[in-house]
Amino acid sequence: MRVSLPHMGNLYIPCRAILEQLGVDYVIPPANSQRTLSLGSRYSPEGLCIPFKMTLGNMIEAAEMGADTLLVPGGYGICRLGYYTRVQEQILHNLGYDIEIIQLGVSERKFAGMMDLIRRVTNNAPWHRVLSAFRFGLTKLNAVDQIERMVQKVRPVELVQGTANQIYTKAISAIDNTDDYDTLKRVRADYLGQLKQVTTDQQAHPLIVGVTGEFYVVLEPFSSFDIERELGKLRVEVRRTTFISGWTKFSLFLNPLGINEKSRIHKAARPYLKRDIGGDGWESVGEKVLHNKEYDGLIHLAPFTCMPEIIAENIMPSTKENIPVLTILCDEQIAKAGVITRLEAFVDLLERKRRVQKDQRRVTA
Ligand code: SF4
């Protein structure tokens, strides 16, 4: 058995750590690229969303590397996510790959499902080894997300543009290469220290823009035109509430105990949308309402043809909380150059809004 999994942001790092520690034969497909997207788009039904196409591209690339078992986190929600893996498996078989997809039903079996899955691919490794490998993977995941949060703060205010990105790239690779807790702790502290020491513009007062939308495109930079880096170049601080570590913590451990991290956001959305509509549409509406005072603007990432985000996009203009929202559709047909032009125009609008508000405050003072 040779195991693999599709990409979603830095998810491959904890997964690699777990598989490595348990001695599983695995391959990680190449990082997402134009080839991944082209392969996925070529063999997907035309109207499907970009997460389906990208992950199918990863699966084909993994199969080319000899993978015969794919682990795919997923669940059975209201949208088509629930039948993703069966369709992808059929496509792979039609292409001649003898491959099995094991879907991890996170939404149904939580932590127990994850443990069963790991034991299955490790031929029933002892529990203590599985738990220890899983814990190490989670520690890596937390370190990666901590670095990413810090990079979001430094990018818009660094004096030499690109410094934070360079540190980030090195940090991610160093964390990925650690094999024990001591090294991991040292690497994390070292790179956090480097980020703290980046020379920044102390007078800068960057615009704050939230990034929300469908889970996959928010977390996978290739599918959403590396939007956070592009906003950093425009001197904008990005705020994002979705991180893989947070999602893991809640969906595997805290949700089964009745602690729902989304209750606040659902409550905020309720005057405009009363129920779950699948995917992350309910949360997208709630984010706009909840962060109205905190953000200068909101970027809403929506896969083209994604029903939940189409609903959210149509509700957002009607809320009384009127922060500007820019919806960006993510698909293989959309060119990055066009997205950057729209981002520049959006940032111009936010700067003007801030200037006008400042002038109004001065007049009334
Ligand atoms: S939420 Fe949207 S993008 Fe995600 S699987 Fe469902 S339809 Fe596709």
Distance CA 99, CA 120 (A): 16
**pLDDT for the residue numbered 125:** 84
* Residue 252 pLDDT grade (very low, low, confident, very high; cuts 50, 70, 90): confident
**pLDDT for the residue numbered 180:** 96
Mean pLDDT of all residues in the chain? Answer: 93
pLDDT (tens digit, 9 = 90+) per residue, 199-242? 999 999 999 999 999 999 999 999 999 999 999 999 999 999 99
**pLDDT for the residue numbered 309:** 97
More confident residue, 265 or 358: 265
**pLDDT for the residue numbered 255:** 82
pLDDT (tens digit, 9 = 90+) per residue, 85-109? 889 999 999 999 999 998 876 666 6
Ligand 1 binding pocket (C-beta < 6 A) is 49, 51, 79-81, 214, 216, 278-279, 303, 306-308
Residue 75 has pLDDT above 80, yes or no: no
Instruction: Report, as an integer, the average pLDDT of 155-161.
Output: 97
In testing the pocket of ligand 1, which one of 81, 85, 280 has its CB within 8 Å of the most ligand atoms? 81
Residue 347 has pLDDT above 70, yes or no: yes
How many whole angstroms from its chain centre is CA 348?
26
Ligand 1 centroid from CA 77, angstroms = 10
Residue 322 has pLDDT above 90, yes or no: no
Closest residue CA from atom 7 of ligand 1: 306
In testing the pocket of ligand 1, which one of 46, 83, 214 has its CB within 8 Å of the most ligand atoms? 214
**φ/ψ of residue 45, rounded to 5:** -60, 140
**pLDDT for the residue numbered 124:** 83
**pLDDT for the residue numbered 34:** 96
pLDDT (tens digit, 9 = 90+) per residue, 123-153? 788 889 988 999 999 999 999 999 999 999 9
Ligand 1 centroid from CA 308, angstroms = 7
Judge contact between 70 and 54, C-beta under 8 A: no
Which residues 6+ apart lie within 8 Å of 232 measured at CB?
A: 152, 155, 156, 164, 165, 238
Q: Report the candidate in 168, 155, 135 with the shortest Cα–Cα distance to residue 18.
A: 135
**pLDDT for the residue numbered 160:** 97
Which atom from ligand 1 is nearest to the alpha carbon of 50?
3
Instruction: Report, as an integer, the average pLDDT of 60-72.
Output: 95
How many whole angstroms from its chain centre is CA 320?
28
CA dihedral 308, 314, 319, 325 (to 10 degrees): 90
Which atom from ligand 1 is nearest to the alpha carbon of 216?
4
**pLDDT for the residue numbered 142:** 97
In testing the pocket of ligand 1, which one of 46, 276, 307 has its CB within 8 Å of the most ligand atoms? 307
**pLDDT for the residue numbered 123:** 78
Judge contact between 64 and 95, C-beta under 8 A: no
More confident residue, 146 or 259: 146
Which atom from ligand 1 is nearest to the alpha carbon of 307?
7
pLDDT (tens digit, 9 = 90+) per residue, 187-210? 999 999 999 999 999 999 999 999
Q: Within 13 Å, how many C-alpha atoms sit on residue 295's CB side?
A: 27
Ligand 1 centroid from CA 48, angstroms = 9
Closest residue CA from atom 1 of ligand 1: 279
**121-135, 163-177, 296-310, range with the lowest pLDDT:** 121-135
Instruction: Report, as an integer, the average pLDDT of 57-71.
Output: 96
In testing the pocket of ligand 1, which one of 76, 80, 284 has its CB within 8 Å of the most ligand atoms? 80
Closest residue CA from atom 2 of ligand 1: 306
Which atom from ligand 1 is nearest to the alpha carbon of 305?
7
Distance CA 287, CA 268 (A): 8
Ligand 1 centroid from CA 306, angstroms = 5
**pLDDT for the residue numbered 195:** 98
Ligand 1 centroid from CA 216, angstroms = 8
**24-33, 179-188, 231-240, 251-260, range with the lowest pLDDT:** 251-260
**pLDDT for the residue numbered 105:** 65
Q: Percent of the chain beyond pLDDT 90?
A: 79
Residue 249 has pLDDT above 90, yes or no: no
Residue 73 has pLDDT above 80, yes or no: no
Instruction: Report, as an integer, the average pLDDT of 173-185.
Output: 97
